[in-house]
Amino acid sequence: MKYRHFLIELIKKDFKFKYRRSKLGILWSLLNPLLMISVLSIVFSTLFARHIPNYTLFLLTGKLMFDFFSESTNTSMRSINGNASLIRKIYVPRYLFPLSKTIFSLINLFFTMIILFIIMLFSSITLSWSIVLFPLPILYLFVFAAGVGLLLSSYSVYFRDLNHLYSVVITAWMYLTPIIYPIEIIPDKYRWIVEANPLFYYISLFRDITLNGSTGRVGTHLICIGISLVTLIIGLFVFRKKQNNFILHL
């Protein structure tokens, strides 16, 4: 709370930087996923639409959640190195830099949710009261992304090649997550690989709440909460342990 104004200014700076000299500005947060989903739907609907009702919504819910995670962790990873000049001049808690990136990505996610709910209104989805619970899986994923962001930002100060390595990891991670395809097409002997993927549970829970009119299984909620808290605790521990030496490597 003491540094909340500084945190807000960091988030404002990100908005100004991302949309500077852009005539459409924040509308790109809506147009970008819409254009991408349109392309992916055209390409993959012929393969999976027969097996998945409302395939466009299935694809959109998975893509929005994964893109939030990808953007927040990528930007968090670069946050310490990117603010090196500021860190050398003044003292503020270092964790504010990766946290601001995760919050900025969360705000962008809520803007893109407008597209999801508009499409849902014009689809055959029957809206249930459980839809009010849609922020829960987003909250779980936010905590998980914050923990991963703290870990990545800690190590990227010492290993600059982590930026390039993570781009490969996040691409592979996307294809190992049932975003485009249903998990049912994975052979049983390989399904454990997908089920070991934390993002599988966040996206499945989000789809249950938004598309299936369900509150989600209690077990899935507990798995998401457990993964999120453990990751955040590890991220905070590692970040706190390494932050005093950041200045020597910036």
Average pLDDT for runs of 10 along the chain of length 250: 88 79 63 72 70 83 94 94 86 92 93 86 80 94 97 92 92 92 86 92 95 91 97 96 82
Position 41 scores a pLDDT of 72
Whole-number Å distance between alpha carbons of 186 and 193: 10
Give the closest residue to 76 by CA, choosing from 57, 96, 51, 47.
Answer: 96
Token representation of residue 105:
């990505």
Q: How many Cα atoms occupy the beta-carbon half-sphere of 147 within 13 Å?
A: 19
pLDDT at 174: 92
pLDDT value at residue 129? 86
Give me 45's structure tokens. 């609907």
The reported pLDDT for the residue numbered 91 is 84
Please spell the DSSP secondary structure of 87-145, one letter per residue: HHHS---TTHHHHHHHHHHHHHHHHHHHHHHHHHHTSS----GGGGGTHHHHHHHHHHH
CA separation, residue 128 to residues 85, 125, 133, 210 (Å): 50, 9, 10, 8
Task: Read off the amino acid at residue 56.
Answer: T
| Predicted pLDDT of residue 28 | 64
Which one-letter amino acid corresponds to residue 1?
A: M
pLDDT score of 125: 77
CA-based radius of gyration for the chain: 19
Instruction: Give the type of residue at 31.
Output: L
Instruction: Report whether 104 contacts 76 (CB < 8 A).
Output: no
Q: In angstroms, what CA-CA distances link 214 with 79, 128, 198?
A: 37, 8, 20
Q: How far apart are CA 163 and CA 75, in angstroms?
A: 10
